[in-house]
Amino acid sequence: MFITSKKSFLNTLLCFLWIALIAKSIALFIGFVLPVSKHIVNTKIDTNLPYIKFSLKKDFAIEIKIKKKKKEKPTLLMKNMLLKGIYISGANDFAIIGLKAKKDSIKIISVKGNFQGYKLIKLYPKKVLLQKNGITYVLYLKNIKVHPSTEGVSSDVSISSNVPGKKKFVLAKDNVYYYVNHLNKIWNDIGIDDSRKNGHLVGFKIKWIKSNSIFTKIGLKKGDILVKINGDPLINYGVAFDYYKKIKKREIGEIKLTVLRNKKEKEIEYELF
């Protein structure tokens, strides 16, 4: 049995040797017969390659379209219209516009509304932008003197009463509504703080006021304490906020402020026109 196993092992080994000899012979034949590429053996990078110009459209039938930016058309001044007023609230903005040649053509136009074929696209404190056929027009408020520190507010205030201890100021509604809708402008010209007595609110004290601002022109002074509005005591923020909403909704045509100045009450009246 050992002899048989030994013979089988020798036959297997001889078979493997024979296969290895054949494989080696084939490899030598291929290496001898097939030529070796010089470019593969001596690999070098040629940095002086020729510049080849080609067209994507002609050579590859690929057409690339590049969109050209349209030149913005200049904003033109609107000359045949009048801008009578602007109301900016953030929700229901509108402008009051009319034709110079027709006094009865005045209309209230909301944003994106149309007037004589012109679309109202933007409102600013002193101007509006209109658009027609891709052209933008600007229309300015006329006959309004603007205070340098407060854009959009007239610096002129009329006094209609000189009764001792009592003054009545006539204010343009545009000025009042401008401040109502731009509260940040108020705090640029005047500083107001609570005035309390025994911990209870009794009014609002003017801590500082900018000289030559509209607030000095309507009769207010540093140190004044606003104690009433239209006869209602300012004993909480709710009263002040209620009047703010009424003015914003244009429900009030007259405002009467009662201020405490040098420990004496003084009334200042305002008429909106």
Domains of the chain as residue ranges with CATH: 76-140 (2.30.30), 146-272 (2.30.42.10)
More confident site: 181 or 123: 123
Identify the CA nearest to 228 among candidates 254, 260, 250.
260
pLDDT for 174: 75
Check pLDDT > 90 for residue 12.
no
> Is residue 83 within 8 Å of 141, Cβ to Cβ?
yes
More confident site: 240 or 117: 117
Helix (H) or strand (E) holding 186: helix 183-189
pLDDT for 24: 64
More confident site: 127 or 273: 127
More confident site: 81 or 213: 81
- Lowest mean pLDDT segment, chosen from 24-38, 99-113, 205-219: 24-38
* 261: β partners: 264
Check pLDDT > 90 for residue 119.
yes
| Gap between the Cα atoms of 257 and 153, Å rounded | 21
* 126: β partners: none
pLDDT for 179: 79
pLDDT for 120: 94
Helix (H) or strand (E) holding 85: strand 81-87
Check pLDDT > 70 for residue 271.
yes
> Is residue 232 within 8 Å of 216, Cβ to Cβ?
no
Q: What is the percent of the chain where pLDDT is above 70?
A: 62
Residue 166 CA, chain-centre distance (Å), reads 44
Give the mean pLDDT of the chain: 75
pLDDT for 159: 43
At 205 the three-state DSSP class reads strand
pLDDT for 265: 92
Total count of residues recorded for the chain: 273
> pLDDT per residue over 186-213, tens digit each?
778 888 888 999 989 899 999 999 888 8
Joined tokens for residue 113: 């509304």
| Gap between the Cα atoms of 226 and 255, Å rounded | 13
Residue 134: how many other CB atoms lie within 10 Å: 8
pLDDT for 138: 92
